[in-house]
């Protein structure tokens, strides 16, 4: 019996003993192709020499200094590397230890902004039904997955949820993609008018939805309309790029491709590439200046903020992205993956949709392709596919998402950016075997 309190008490997990490139090896020496980067984390693969060297060098000098006593050169450098690349005026970076902490920080900073600027009656957030923003209580409250929220619902702040941009499910036959995008974006305006726009703090959304919908990218024009609505009613726009950010979709920030600017952006996962736990919230000048000229103090903080070793690791990740050209691989390798998925699964009777951006791709599984009927929520399809794939030596990320109350299934793929063509073939072959056997 294991003394580690695993999330699934009865799971029988292999021991991971080493990693190399796109593979993790277990205690028997069996190799697993990491086609999901764990949970879209390991964007550089495993045992990256540059990151390893940077971590060693930092630990030799200084592992940690509490952020209320010191700043460090690595934290300052990492912040400027990120803000140099970020769209708009996201010029201020608040470093934390992971995605949920980044989201909590954004929710609290958004609220504090309105308290300090004389609108304390703003107390609500609006989010989307297919969304995941983390498991801490604030992040869970805005997340759209009713199943995750259920046991904790009496403890959660109330939040409003509107439809996501999900053309495979919701586009009408007589509607263009553009019109569909405008229609679902307009749900934000309708909800604002219902609840009273003066009571709302912010709208929060994942630019490309990860865990709850499977690499669901917005249609053209959707986010421009969302931004217009936010501006019209004076609410903030928080973009959660914890999963889809840090190059995963082909650009450092996913929302660069939507031509908009956010007030607050959260990142994590790929920021540390799995080498250290790290997350960050980027704040725009407007938000930062209001706090700086107001109380001068963000009423929030964590012990491991701007942890020096984590900062050094992430700087090496940025070096690999830029100097080694790893980020530039994402778009072409994403196309190569998309092509392979379409070739193999295009006619599969239980694959309803193939979608994604860059190296962030997914298959939506359906019981019936014509009616788009999902598999029964009790089928445990996600767990069975994951187990079969692991048997075959493949890590992928099957999830039971939510389709408006029902639970649908998809498989998320988020391989390391260093993956090569041969490994993409291995990925597609093994995935096909697992999906075909279990569906
Ligand atoms: N936000 C998004 C979009 C995520 O995908 C996740 C994790 O999957 C989180 C927040 C929470 O991040 P963490 O698990 O690091 O707390």
328-353: pLDDT as tens digits: 999 999 999 999 999 999 999 999 99
Q: Cβ distance 129 to 117 under 8 Å? A: no
Q: If residue 31 lies in a helix (H) or strand (E), which one and from where to where?
A: strand 31-34
What is the spatial distance between Cα 248 and Cα 397, in angstroms, rounded to a whole number?
A: 15
Report CA(141)–ligand 1 centroid distance (Å).
13
pTM over 0.95: yes
What is the spatial distance between Cα 363 and Cα 326, in angstroms, rounded to a whole number?
A: 25
Interior/surface letters 230-262, b for 16+ CB within 10 angstroms, e for the rest: beebebbbbbbbbbbbbbbbbbbbbbbbbebbb
Q: Is the ipTM of this complex over 0.85?
A: yes
Mean pLDDT throughout 201-227? 97
CATH architecture of structural domain 16-48+326-438: Alpha-Beta Complex (3.90)
Q: Which of 37, 125, 98 is nearest to 281 (CA)?
A: 98
Contacts of 394 (CB under 8 A, 6+ apart): 32, 33, 35, 426, 427, 430, 431, 434
Burial of 338 (0-12, 13-18, 19+ CB in 10 A): middle
| Domain regions of the chain by residue span | 16-48+326-438, 53-322
Q: What is the chain's alpha carbon radius of gyration, rounded to the nearest angstrom?
A: 21
- pLDDT band for 366, please (50, 70, 90 cuts): very high
Pocket of ligand 1 (CB under 6 A): 39, 98-100, 103, 132-134, 206, 210-211, 240, 242-243, 268
What is the spatial distance between Cα 103 and Cα 279, in angstroms, rounded to a whole number?
A: 9
Range with lowest mean pLDDT among 6-15, 152-161, 401-410, 414-423: 401-410
Mean pLDDT throughout 182-206? 98
Contacts of 399 (CB under 8 A, 6+ apart): 211, 212, 214, 382, 409, 410, 411, 412
Strands 264-267, 279-284: pairing is: antiparallel
Give whole-number Cα distances, 105 to 96, 164, 276, 309, in Å: 9, 23, 19, 21
Q: Which of 248, 431, 244 is nearest to 351 (CA)?
A: 431
In this structure, is the dihedral angle defined by the CA atoms of residues 366, 368, 369 and 372, taken in order, positive or negative? negative
Average pLDDT, the chain: 96
pLDDT above 90 for 407:
no
pLDDT tens per residue across span 262-277: 999 999 999 999 999 9
With tokens 């942890």, the residue in question is 307
Report CA(256)–ligand 1 centroid distance (Å).
20
Report CA(269)–ligand 1 centroid distance (Å).
8
CA dihedral of residues 179, 412, 152, 112 (deg, nearest 10): -60
* pLDDT score at 262: 98
For the segment(s) 53-322, the CATH number from 3.20.20.140, 3.40.50.300, 3.40.1160.10, 3.40.640.10 is 3.40.640.10
Q: Which of 254, 257, 415, 217 is nearest to 326 (CA)?
A: 415
**Hey, which bits of 212-285 come out as E strands?**
236-240, 264-267, 279-284
Q: Cβ distance 435 to 350 under 8 Å? A: yes
From 37, 101, 268, 274, mutation site for ligand 1 pocket: most ligand atoms within 8 A of C-beta: 268
User: Can you name the residues that pair with 373 across neighbouring β-strands?
Assistant: 368
Looking at ligand 1, which atom is closest to the CA of residue 131? 3
Mean pLDDT throughout 137-141? 98
Mean pLDDT throughout 352-378? 94
- pLDDT band for 147, please (50, 70, 90 cuts): confident
Looking at ligand 1, which atom is closest to the CA of residue 210? 5
Contacts of 405 (CB under 8 A, 6+ apart): 146
* pLDDT score at 187: 98
Q: Cβ distance 218 to 181 under 8 Å? A: yes
pLDDT above 80 for 104:
yes
Q: Whose CA is nearest to atom 1 of ligand 1?
A: 133
pLDDT above 90 for 377:
no
* pLDDT score at 1: 67
Tokens of 73: 């050169």
* pLDDT score at 317: 98
């Amino acid at each position: 019996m294991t003394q580690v309190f695993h999330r699934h008490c009865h799971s029988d997990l292999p021991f991971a003993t080493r990693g190399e490139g796109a593979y993790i090896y277990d205690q028997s020496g069996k190799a697993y192709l990491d086609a999901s980067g764990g949970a879209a984390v390991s964007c550089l693969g495993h045992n990256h020499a540059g990151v390893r060297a940077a971590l060693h060098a930092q630990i030799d000098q200084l592992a940690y200094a509490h952020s209320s006593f010191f700043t460090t050169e690595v934290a300052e450098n990492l912040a400027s590397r990120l803000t140099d690349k970020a769209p708009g005026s996201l010029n201020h970076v608040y470093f934390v230890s992971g995605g949920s902490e980044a989201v909590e920080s954004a929710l609290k900073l958004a609220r504090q902004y309105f308290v300090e600027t004389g609108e304390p009656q703003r107390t609500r957030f609006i989010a989307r039904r297919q969304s995941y923003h983390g498991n801490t209580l604030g992040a869970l409250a805005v997340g759209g997955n009713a199943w995750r929220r259920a046991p904790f619902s009496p403890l959660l702040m109330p939040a409003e949820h509107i439809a996501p941009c999900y053309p495979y499910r919701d586009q009408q036959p007589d509607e263009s993609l553009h019109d569909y995008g405008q229609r679902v974006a307009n749900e934000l305006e309708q909800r604002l008018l219902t609840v009273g726009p003066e009571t709302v703090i912010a709208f929060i959304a994942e630019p490309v939805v990860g865990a709850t919908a499977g690499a669901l990218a917005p249609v053209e024009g959707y986010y421009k309309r969302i931004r217009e609505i936010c501006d019209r009613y004076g609410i903030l726009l928080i973009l959660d790029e914890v999963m889809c950010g840090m190059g995963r979709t082909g650009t450092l920030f996913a929302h660069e491709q939507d031509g908009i600017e956010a007030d607050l952006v959260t990142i994590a996962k790929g920021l540390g590439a799995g080498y250290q736990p790290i997350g960050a919230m980027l704040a725009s000048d407007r938000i930062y200046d209001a706090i700086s000229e107001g109380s001068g103090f963000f009423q929030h903080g964590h012990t491991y903020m701007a942890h020096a070793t984590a900062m050094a690791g992430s700087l090496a990740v940025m070096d690999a992205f830029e100097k080694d050209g790893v980020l530039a691989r994402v778009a072409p390798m994403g196309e190569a993956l998309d092509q392979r998925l379409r070739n193999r699964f295009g006619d599969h009777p239980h694959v309803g949709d193939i979608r994604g951006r860059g190296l962030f791709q997914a298959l939506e599984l359906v019981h019936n392709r014509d009616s788009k009927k999902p598999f029964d929520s009790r089928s445990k399809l996600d767990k069975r596919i994951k187990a079969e794939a692991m048997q075959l030596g493949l890590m992928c990320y099957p999830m039971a998402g939510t389709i408006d109350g029902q639970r649908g299934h998809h498989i998320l793929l988020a391989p390391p950016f260093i993956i090569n063509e041969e490994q993409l073939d291995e990925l597609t072959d093994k995935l096909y075997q697992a999906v075909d056997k279990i569906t």
